[in-house]
Amino acid sequence: MQLSVWGKMEQSDAGAERRRPVDVVLVDDHPLFSRGLALLLPGVSEGQVRVVATTDDASAAAAMVRRHHADVAVVDLHMPPPGGTRAIAAIRRADPTVRVVALSGQAEEDAVLEALRAGAAAYLPKTADPELLVRPLLAVLDGWSVIPEDLLRRLLEDSAPSGEQGLADRLTADERRLWRLVADGTSTVEIATTLHVSERTAKRLVAALLRTLGVATRVEAAALAGRVHLGGNGRQG
């Protein structure tokens, strides 16, 4: 499985080995899957990932994440009501610093897009080997967004809905430049350096751009840039 990523790994692999273990909460209504993953992840990650709690109740996910001070929540999209997407949104509202990885047994584009809009930083199929979950779990903490390449290409190839094509024309030159940087996968640190602003200001500018574009995540902003053929390179001019 090929993964597409946006962002910049702020730590080298060696640095990742020295970090404290990543605390993960699993939200899945299949006990065999969640318990199996809870047993496997610490081993395949060589102790870098530990599962601190599991729940099969989507409505309890946000409270559990806060209670255990989790770094990452892994959420199955196809759960009984209120469902995985609402669980993702609730988790992000409860603690915006928590990164969410959405899982699904079915690569349904609409469901994936809803998860990304709700605040998920990554999407992976449940058919992935446990070993393949480790790097995305670590990567999302370093500012990456992760999505399977074949699904990304399908999303990018979708025709732009009415009104999207003229969106770039309604932005200022600075906003279009920032959008290109985001679409190119530029990290917050690199954006700050390129625009000659502080990292805090860069975060504020990116957040404002996402609101202007009507999207929730950098992944969705990059997909939108592809649909409207934004083109160019944000690092130039």
pLDDT of residue 155: 67
Give domain limits for the chain. Answer: 3-155, 167-227
pTM: predicted TM-score of the whole model, two decimal places? 0.62
CATH top class, domain 3-155: alpha beta
Q: Are 67 and 45 in contact (CB under 8 A)?
A: no
pLDDT of residue 16: 43
**pLDDT tens-place string over residues 96-127:** 999 999 998 876 777 888 898 899 999 988 88
With a CB cutoff of 8 Å and minimum separation 6, the contacts of 75 are 27, 28, 58, 61, 84, 87, 88, 91, 100, 101, 102, 103, 115, 120
pLDDT of residue 234: 46
pLDDT of residue 232: 53
Q: Are 234 and 194 in contact (CB under 8 A)?
A: yes
**Nearest one of 163, 123, 162 to 6, comparing CA atoms:** 123
pLDDT of residue 136: 86
**Angstrom distance (rounded) from CA 214 to CA 17:** 37
pLDDT of residue 5: 54
Rounded to an integer, what is the distance from CA 190 to the centroid of its chain? Answer: 19
Number of other residues whose CB lies within 10 A of the CB of residue 30: 15
In the chain, which residues have pLDDT < 50? 1-2, 7-17, 159-162, 233-237
Number of other residues whose CB lies within 10 A of the CB of residue 4: 18
Domain 167-227 = CATH 3.10.20.30: no
Residue listed under structure tokens 């020295």: 18
